[in-house]
Amino acid sequence: MPATSTQPADVKEKDAKPTACLALADGTIFYGKGFGATGEAEAELCFNTAMTGYQEIMTDPSYAGQIVTFTFPHIGNTGVTPEDDETADPFAAGMVVKWDPTDPSNWRAAETLGTWLSRRGRIGIGGIDTRRLTRAIRQQGAPHVAISHNADGEFDIEALTKKARAFSGLEGLDLAKDVTCAQSYRWDEMRWAWPEGYTRQNAAKFKVVALDYGAKRNILRCLASAGCDVTVMPATATAAEVLAHSPDGVFLSNGPGDPAATGDYAVPMIREILDTTDLPIFGICLGHQMLALALGAKTVKMNHGHHGANHPVKDLETGKVEITSMNHGFAVDSQSLPNGVKETHVSLFDGSNCGLRMADRPVFSVQYHPEASPGPMDSIYLFDRFTDAMATRAA
């Protein structure tokens, strides 16, 4: 995209002045109306096509190091509630939307999106031509950007552009260590259900250790609802530390950053568990990529990644097509899968790998988020597949 400057219609009105801007590394500048926190931030820019779940997306650790452009224009209209946080704080660096967030109209809303972002130190910018921005991302790849929100409308465009160009990018960056838990903890909260809300697991059948590369709460809730007593451990945990809990299975969570970088410490741990035990292993997202690397495959950086709740994935073993929720900028290179490892799922958008399993062991993973927060629940069965494997091993 050539260096240009754009302003939304409301900014062009007499005496109107933009209060936020988005500077791309190629010199393109988008002006709009800021909301949330004031200040500046640099990140990689991606787009997300989900129509719901903006709060879950902003608090998904997989978005660390990224600013999210929402292609659906109605963002903020249901407000926010603590029940929908996937983690204690947002990890996305900021958000870009078409229309300024309106006052919420939802019985669950506890506060407005703008107030929530301000309190959490995250910048939002509205009034942006998100279609144009999305096309640029698709055509040229995820750009490095700097975002600024200043109520006075004063911006140092040259400095912002330099910050965007100076951003290191996500390749070679291990972000799992920045988003993982500081110490181990137990998780027993189950999925939300009407009218009780979140309830506790009190009849667990299986002990599961979940490696936290950036785990979402609803993924842990799905494990608990499937009958698991879950112990969450830091991303840097060793195999000896994992096995000290005598688990029936090991779960590898979602997370951000370059899988090859996180693999420096995660892959040896997974390989040791594979070499010394017959434990079932289930991986999601970054956990899928960690398992692939441990089995001898490779990962690659995607042009603009997959981010949304409407991604069709084909199960190659059943022929079934699932609509899935995705959030990843790296992918497993299916051509690098070794003998004994089968590709089980592929994206119907671009044919990229979305799942694998070992041919002779209960070890499997998927690239997408089957807990569907936000998104469809076509793939929730995978948690039962994991518990069925643990039950078979125990029989």
Residues labelled as active-site residues: 285, 369, 371
382 neighbors 366 (Cβ within 8 angstroms)? yes
Distances (CA, A) of 101 to 2, 75, 80: 29, 6, 12
The number of beta carbons lying within 10 Å of the beta carbon of residue 14 is 4
- CA atoms 164, 166, 167, 172: torsion sign: positive
Pinpoint the alpha helices (H) of 141-231: 157-166, 176-179, 217-225
Give the C-alpha separation, 50 to 178, whole Å. 26
The number of beta carbons lying within 10 Å of the beta carbon of residue 203 is 6
Element (H, E) at 147: strand 144-149
Give the C-alpha separation, 18 to 152, whole Å. 9
Residue 11 pairs with which residues in a beta bridge? none
